[in-house]
Structure 1
Amino acid sequence: MKVEVPVPRQLPRDVSGFVGRAAELAELDALLHDDDGTDGSASVVVLAGTAGVGKTSLAVRLAHRISGSFPHGQLFVNLRGYDTGPSLAPAAVLGRFLGALGIPAPAIPVGLEERAELYRSLLAGKQVLVVLDNAATVGQVRPLLPGTAGCLTVVTSRHRLSGLAVRDGARRITLGMLSAQESTDLIAAATRGYRTGDDPDQIAELARLCARLPLALRIAAERAATHPLLALPELTAQLRDESTLWEALSSPDEEEADAVRTVFAWSYRTLPPPAARLFRLLGLHPGPDFSVHAAAALTEQEPRRAHGLLDLLAGAHLVESTSADRYQFHDLLRAYATDQAHQEETLEDQYTALKRLANWYLRTADAACGAAQSFDASILPQGQTGPASALTFDGQQDAFTWHQSEQANLLAVVQAAAQAELDEIAWQLPAALHGIHMARGVFDDWQAMAGLGLEAAQRLGDRRAQALMHNTLGIAAKDSRQLAQAAEHHEAALELRTLVGDQAGVAESANGLGLVHLWRHELTAGRTRLEQALALYQQHGPRHWTGVVLCGLGFTAAALGEPHEAARFAHQALAVYRETGADHSLHIDALQLLARLAREAGDYAQAEEYLGDALALQEHSSFVTIDAALRLEQATLHRAQSRHDQALETYWACETLQRSIGNRTGQAHAYDGIGQTMRALGRLQEAIDFHTMAARILRDPPQPWDLAQTVTHLADAHADNDQPEQARHHRTEALTLLAPFPDPQAAALRRRLQQLIAE
């Protein structure tokens, strides 16, 4: 399976009525093109300048002008380096960019380095334009730079970011204020068709009071356009009065910032009271943008009314519309709105507004998770009503689309709830999102939110909530192959659930531990825990979870060399799933196990039938981890049938998926399978190379069981390549690795290795 790379088109709309900056655009054109018109050498350009000077507008205008030179797409992100909340971390940005480049959310690697490697690999040989807006530090930018020529990165910042020039060859253009003529041209363009007869000197005075900064100029011009009967001298007199007020509160070296704040205040004071209140309360929203429904919840209004007020604010350039029902602040306006909220709203009113907002996110997240999957029940009390503006969803994709649009906000809301001592919401929100996090594999946010939730539950002294957070952290760690951490969290959850007498919870934790043991090839311990879980689920439910445990027992029996017992467990699991109408994704594991058992028995036709059923179900599932496992089994079946070309193609598809989700163990399994296929084809040196790559991965961190299999295959390839000493060395290493494992499969492999060494 080939991962198709789409063409992202993320540029915001070009700036309406863009005026000036002809010199800067000419300088940029010279940087980006040689004298003969061919592409120049600049691959990173920094647009630096004070707040409100128009860096973003120029970057967007430039990007639209040159987008045709970048046929493989344009990426854009606001790094929020100067926002009142936390800036956007490079790992989070790479997660977004990888998604835009075709990597499914569950398939995005966990670590920053792995994400950056995949990002650079996807852009290699491509021509992509990357716009990084509002960068505060070099550290925010450097991981986001493409690794090869052909791409261009445009960075905007209030700082010079000298490190990019020194190390990365960035070219910098510093923006000053608009010229007097450009400033008056901007006001004239924005008011054209609304006003006539304004004195050019009065327009120039208005521009001077705005410090010739585009952000302030646009707000002032909008005010003038919407009051066409008000003489310009009167408008400038009002602005001058505001300016006098700010000057009394400011220091002399803050002239530009004072001018911007003056224009903000001038515009804010003319808003109708409901719009002014919405504006300042939006300053309490902790995320980077906000939907109409979130704004409605924040202000306790009907969504239609909130939408109208948001459009009014957008018309006054106090917020910016980013789509049909989403808006965002300029970072200076966000700071101003927050300041107004602190000044004009009581602490109690601010707390109540934030609580309404957090509760809206909680209720909507719970509805989304219910639409996305059916194996995890709601954690919220039944019959409890939520806010009127809480959303409903038409199926999994609708829920996933909402989660993707709100992903950054959700983490910010949990952080804000924890800071505001809304501890119940701070653990309930990550708990409500567990099913979506598991389906989409967004490990960064999953673990960060659950970690905050655990701290909140600990502050409350709520043992059940603590256990729930340990459980979700355990599953996140297991799915991202952090098995030691997974075991610690499941043990902690098991202890807490035992203390409170939560038998269904004990079953869940025992199952989680059993699967961790299975993945470590600790088969006896795994079987014991899974049998404990099965007994408890049979008594306490829910019924469909007995199928999950039966499937785990089936994989354990297969690893112990008990194929008939494994098949019995798999069929029992499928019967439970059919009986309970369980989620499609649960059926797939059991079918995959049956395909493996049929393959190992030499019944390839039956194996293909089971795999076909599993792949058909996978079309309705969003679990990339399951897809990768299916591809690995499919490739192994092709190899067993001596269909080597198909095997190689499918192993590579598996490797791509495993690498993209950061599953290094799965990636090693794919390399090992490629090595075995190469050996079957007689391409022995290539086989040795791939087995060596797999072994390197499995040594860091050490994974003894998987590494023993791989070095055994490596030894066999060396032996076929007439390299007996290397073969003996690796067989001896494999024997050492197998020492801790007492199961029949390990014993049989030890006997084979000992016999080969003795020959």
Structure 2
Amino acid sequence: MEPLLSLVLSTVGTVASGALSGAGGEMGRRTSERLYGLLSRARTADGGAGSGSGGGEEQPTLPVTEQERTAAALRLVEFARRSPEFARDVAEWAREASWLTPRAVPAVAGGASRPQMLPPATAVFTDREDVIAWITTLLNDADPVPGAPTIATLTGPGGIGKTAVAVQCAYALRERFPDGILFVDLAGASAGTALPPSDVLARFLERLGVPPAMVPGDEARQRDLFRDCTADRRMMVVLDNAYADAQVVPLLPASPGCLVLVTSRHRLGRLVAEHGARPRVLGPLSTADSVLLLRRVAGSERAAAPDAVVQAVAGAAGGVPLALCTTGAGLAVREHLAWERVARQLSERIHGHGQVQGQVQGQVPCQGGDDAMRSGSGDDPDGPFDPVRHAQDASYSELTPECAAFYRAIAGWAWPTVTVMCAAHAAGVQEDRARELLEQLARVHLLEEVGEERYRFHDLARAHARELAVAEDGHGRMSAGVRRVAVAQLRWAAEADFRVMPLRWRLGPAYRALVLPQDRDPADGKRALAELRRERENLAAVIRAADHHGFDDLVWQLCEAMWGLHLLLGFHAQWIDTHLLGVAAARRCAAEFGDRRAVGRMLVQLAFGQMGAGRADDAEETLAEAVVADEACGHHRGRASAVEALGLLRLKRWKYAEAQRCFEEAREILGRIREGDDGWEDLPRATALLEHHIGRARTKQRHFAEALARLNDALVRFRRLPDGGDAYNEGRVYMSLGEVHLDAGDPDLARVCLDKAVEAMETAGAGLQLAVAFESRARCHRLSDRPAEAAEDLRTAAVHYEANGDRVGAERIRTGLAELEA
């Protein structure tokens, strides 16, 4: 493929994908619309034949498939060969659009991110020097193959210490990997808890310096960008607790300078066969090392115990580090708990009553190490000898009744992390008490603290607690605890979502009493979005838990409460998965006595997730279903929203006449809402937004007079809104007015409108939109031959991009400024 065609084809793909997902924000929209203009010019020059995207339509439509994108690129290149002016325009467009391509940050760059994501190592780590030596040998003996990292897999039963070994190895070897260490717990205890690769890639890309807005929505493009980011780097990637090969393969860097450590309970044959991974099975600790680890955890301040007794306790743990740590932690925090009593408890659980005396005296020692593991604890954790379970039983027996009930209650679902709020509602206690009980469980190693007031079960401990909960509390009490957690999370998430996007129309009753304080901090919305992001995985788990227990009313409301999070930050795989549950739950509610309006609400939100993932046809079908669902229940506000969303999708796909008809239909539907009906209070703002959309659609059809009329009407409507109007949307309308005048060839009138846009965005405190306004005004100055003013606006735009975290935008502006001043 010739270089020009290859460049244009790649750029068309980037722009088209971004147009659907919203990647690149205002710049992404502008470059998409400029591509539409170029394809329209090429079509006109050819006498109107073809669509410019291979579809044979009267006007070009967004090229979505590979065939359509290839046809569009060929059309541009063919016409560029015949017209030098068109070639210059294509080159300028491609240069601008290249900034939309998510950019890997080279390891040698001044602003390169060198992530250090390792969790803390354990201070009582014992033995395993042979594993570190083995990995070191792999690295030293490796014959670098281009594109192939060194991969080592550590497998073994639960509790054998795979994570601790991987972390310890990573710390021991980190000097060999100066470009950073990535770490993730893949939560692979089961298929249901395992993290999808897309979620992990999004997390890794941000830590590697890719701005969140530039992270692609689909897994394939995320994977490609991740490999770009890690190319030529010397990094370590630790993938802990993998469920299967398919979870790991997309996370492999394509650099021979990288080491990948994977831990799993399962054999990862595909990694070995197809990617050259070197496997190692972790076995139990020796008896001597078991004793050493046990004494380290129990602490040197405890009274000395006979060696035979300590060996008996260590032997009962079977050489399994988790069992040893759980037992030792109990001894460490209970100074009056005797070694002999622990040995007796463990022996009774292993052998039954009556065999303790000889064991404690050393006459019938319970062998640790390999013999113990072969007796059943390895491949069959429920077999005749399960040292982890015995240690957990012993620790559980020492808990107070209140703490034991709390331990059972918080295991009602596989929460990714257990927060104070989650624990308090699961157990039905006050948060202060939950905080104390969580700390008690962490001290005896039944929980692990993984962040400030954030805890996690080892999955074997959670299984132990859940089994006890089923036996002692029953499914009814467990289900009630899950519902309390879901209600609390819904209340919290709705409040946070409201702070992120306070003006959006909402349906769920969780929003009804929410109001914003009059002295609200302008940065509060960003803080709320960060809070939602931190709790993202738990919120998804709550949705799955509520779905499992049949709490349909909570499932769809929780999905609605994640709207701001997903719309602004993506995570499209989770978005789609949770909202499919939301749609099904809303439909079940509608079939009974629930809110029938929820079906359309869920379908609209699902469609936006499908748009973000590039699934335009799926989104069209989903929105069509939403329109039908809202029409069936007579919900005018919901139906108008669904039709509006369909129009926005068609706007993105360059179907401007169809988009306009959708917006006009939505406005007509809104006109049916009467005072007291759902959506009445939202009517003025909703109508103003539709007028703005119609103005944009008319602009792209080059009906400038009507576009100006619509946009000016929208401007008046936004100004009339209560509480001083809507400065942010006023600014957006002024920016659209500027575009109309630019498209009509009048940069001076455009500049007047953009002056107003700058004022409005400053009033609204919308930093990124303010940067866009300055950038657009600079274009007006250039077209009017005012280079000094253009340069000043570009410098100001760069400052605002930088201040609002858009590093790529700032770099793009500074590059353009350098060209202007050259």
In structure 1, what is the equivalent of residue 686 of structure 2? 545
Letter of the structure 2 residue corresponding to residue 372 of structure 1: V
The offset of 1:327, in angstroms, is 0.7
User: What SS does the corresponding residue of 1:33 show, helix, strand or coil?
Assistant: helix
User: Which stretch of structure 1 is more off in the superposition, 278-287 or 127-136?
Assistant: 278-287
Distance 1:357 1:599, change over 3 A: same
In structure 1, what is the equivalent of residue 459 of structure 2? 331
Query: Match for 2:527 among 389, 398, 419?
Result: 398
Cα distance in 2 for partners of 1:170, 1:276 equals 43
Cα distance in 1 for partners of 2:123, 2:506 equals 46
Contact 2:410 2:423 in 1 (8 A): yes
1:243 matches 2:367: no
1:531 matches 2:658: no
In the TM superposition, what are the counterparts of 1:327-406 in structure 2 within 5 Å?
A: 327-381=455-509, 395-406=524-535
Distance 1:48 1:579, change over 3 A: same
Distance 1:247 1:349, change over 3 A: farther
In structure 2, what is the equivalent of residue 474 of structure 1? 607
Query: Match for 2:563 among 434, 441, 445?
Result: 434
In structure 1, what is the equivalent of residue 323 of structure 2? 216
The offset of 1:618, in angstroms, is 9.9
In structure 2, what is the equivalent of residue 572 of structure 1? 713
Cα distance in 1 for partners of 2:456, 2:354 equals 29
Q: What number of residue pairs does the alignment pair up? A: 644
User: Which stretch of structure 1 is more off in the superposition, 191-200 or 529-538?
Assistant: 529-538
User: What SS does the corresponding residue of 1:333 show, helix, strand or coil?
Assistant: helix
Distance 1:589 1:637, change over 3 A: same
1:487 matches 2:620: yes
1:44 matches 2:146: no
In structure 1, what is the equivalent of residue 177 of structure 2? 70
Letter of the structure 2 residue corresponding to residue 347 of structure 1: H
Letter of the structure 2 residue corresponding to residue 477 of structure 1: Q
Query: Match for 2:646 among 513, 523, 528?
Result: 513
User: What SS does the corresponding residue of 1:143 show, helix, strand or coil?
Assistant: helix
In structure 2, what is the equivalent of residue 500 of structure 1? 633
Contact 1:127 1:151 in 2 (8 A): yes
In structure 2, what is the equivalent of residue 309 of structure 1? 437
Contact 1:427 1:453 in 2 (8 A): yes
Distance 1:610 1:21, change over 3 A: farther
In structure 1, what is the equivalent of residue 420 of structure 2? 292
Cα distance in 1 for partners of 2:136, 2:353 equals 39
Query: Match for 1:590 among 729, 733, 737?
Result: 733
The offset of 1:66, in angstroms, is 2.4
Cα distance in 2 for partners of 1:246, 1:638 equals 90
Distance 1:16 1:639, change over 3 A: farther
Query: Match for 1:407 among 536, 542, 546?
Result: 536
Q: Give deviations 1:392-412, integer Å, cap 9, x for gaps.
A: 998212221222122122222
Contact 2:495 2:511 in 1 (8 A): no
The offset of 1:451, in angstroms, is 1.3
1:318 matches 2:451: no
Contact 1:375 1:582 in 2 (8 A): no
Distance 1:176 1:374, change over 3 A: same
Distance 1:247 1:88, change over 3 A: farther
Distance 1:377 1:228, change over 3 A: same
Percent identity, please: 29
Contact 2:199 2:571 in 1 (8 A): no
Cα distance in 1 for partners of 2:161, 2:307 equals 23
Cα distance in 2 for partners of 1:317, 1:620 equals 50
Contact 2:742 2:750 in 1 (8 A): yes
Letter of the structure 2 residue corresponding to residue 562 of structure 1: H
Distance 1:474 1:635, change over 3 A: farther
Contact 2:499 2:528 in 1 (8 A): yes
The offset of 1:434, in angstroms, is 1.9
Cα distance in 1 for partners of 2:645, 2:708 equals 21
In structure 2, what is the equivalent of residue 280 of structure 1? 408
Cα distance in 1 for partners of 2:354, 2:274 equals 41
1:162 matches 2:269: yes
Contact 1:246 1:262 in 2 (8 A): no
The offset of 1:143, in angstroms, is 0.6
Letter of the structure 2 residue corresponding to residue 326 of structure 1: R
Cα distance in 2 for partners of 1:261, 1:64 equals 30
In structure 2, what is the equivalent of residue 735 of structure 1? none
Contact 1:439 1:622 in 2 (8 A): no
Distance 1:586 1:168, change over 3 A: farther
User: What SS does the corresponding residue of 2:182 show, helix, strand or coil?
Assistant: strand
Query: Match for 1:90 among 180, 197, 200?
Result: 197
Contact 1:378 1:432 in 2 (8 A): no
Cα distance in 1 for partners of 2:512, 2:344 equals 54
Cα distance in 1 for partners of 2:511, 2:185 equals 40
In structure 2, what is the equivalent of residue 261 of structure 1? 389
Contact 1:106 1:442 in 2 (8 A): no
Letter of the structure 2 residue corresponding to residue 339 of structure 1: E
Q: Give deviations 1:365-399, integer Å, cap 9, x for gaps.
A: 1101111012324433379899xxxxx99821222
User: What SS does the corresponding residue of 1:134 show, helix, strand or coil?
Assistant: strand
Cα distance in 2 for partners of 1:208, 1:252 equals 13
Contact 2:533 2:565 in 1 (8 A): no
Contact 2:218 2:572 in 1 (8 A): no
User: What SS does the corresponding residue of 2:242 show, helix, strand or coil?
Assistant: coil
Letter of the structure 2 residue corresponding to residue 33 of structure 1: N
Contact 2:217 2:570 in 1 (8 A): no
Cα distance in 1 for partners of 2:142, 2:573 equals 46
Distance 1:380 1:245, change over 3 A: farther
In structure 2, what is the equivalent of residue 121 of structure 1? 228
Cα distance in 1 for partners of 2:624, 2:142 equals 67
Query: Where does the alignment leave 5 or more consecutive residues of structure 2 unmatched?
Result: 1-98, 106-110, 356-371, 515-519, 674-679, 799-805, 807-811
Cα distance in 2 for partners of 1:98, 1:612 equals 37
Cα distance in 2 for partners of 1:453, 1:163 equals 35
Distance 1:53 1:517, change over 3 A: closer
User: What SS does the corresponding residue of 2:261 show, helix, strand or coil?
Assistant: strand
In structure 1, what is the equivalent of residue 576 of structure 2? 447
Distance 1:497 1:383, change over 3 A: closer
Normalised to the residue count of structure 1, the TM-score between the two structures is: 0.77
Letter of the structure 2 residue corresponding to residue 297 of structure 1: H
Q: Give deviations 1:315-366, integer Å, cap 9, x for gaps.
A: 1111110111111111111211221111111222111111101111111111
Cα distance in 2 for partners of 1:270, 1:294 equals 24
Normalised to the residue count of structure 2, the TM-score between the two structures is: 0.71
In the TM superposition, what are the counterparts of 1:1-16 in structure 2 within 5 Å?
A: 6-16=113-123
Letter of the structure 1 residue corresponding to residue 552 of structure 2: D
Distance 1:404 1:183, change over 3 A: same
Distance 1:185 1:582, change over 3 A: farther
Distance 1:478 1:308, change over 3 A: same
User: What SS does the corresponding residue of 2:509 show, helix, strand or coil?
Assistant: coil
The offset of 1:634, in angstroms, is 8.4
